Amino acid sequence: MIKRAYAVVKGGTLYPNINGAVFMTQYKDGVEVVAKIHNLPKFSREDNKFIGPFGFHIHDGGSCQKGDDKTPFPLAGRHYNPTNAPHGNHAGDLPVLMPMSNNTAIMKIMTDKFKLEDVAGLAIVVHLYPDDYRTDPDGASGPKIACGIIQPY
């Protein structure tokens, strides 16, 4: 059984300065997820979409190959959803990241929707728009702007 995992998160072609880390700890009742992500874009509005807060998910792909501006992180896959649940109940759905005034987001949550052994090797992704937790398949959360691979340690 995997007890701890982490992901080093890096920005892609759209926002290359994003960086941070996600740490996960397996407990009997669930997984604690702690994220600290720096240099997120400033909140704004673009084409009737709000940039920020930022969608945050585990995806089912195992690569953070950057891709290009039109297709960022193409191999990160889709939201991790092993039970084919409707959006909002995907195992990989995490709360949005809400940055402070210095454009750093810090989040700590507990979830029982997955075990570390289930998500090791998968991508954890930051999206440009907030997740609406309703629209399938991705909550209208827009382009992937940062990515990291979950690794046991």
CATH of the domain at 76: 2.60.40.200
pLDDT single digits (tens) 93-128: 999 999 999 999 999 999 999 999 999 999 999 999
CA distance 53 to 150: 22
Query: Based on the structure, what is the number of domains in the chain?
Result: 1
Tell me what pLDDT residue 45 has.
Answer: 83
- Whether the ω angle into residue 95 lies within 30 degrees of 0, i.e. cis, is no
What is the residue range of 22's domain?
A: 4-152
Q: What is the pLDDT of residue 37?
A: 98
- Cis peptide before 72, with omega less than 30 degrees from 0? no
Mean of all residue pLDDT scores within the chain = 93
| Beta pairing class for 144-149 and 4-11 | antiparallel
Instruction: Give the per-residue pLDDT at 95.
Output: 94
pTM: 0.94
Q: Per-residue confidence at 133, pLDDT binned at 50, 70, 90?
A: confident
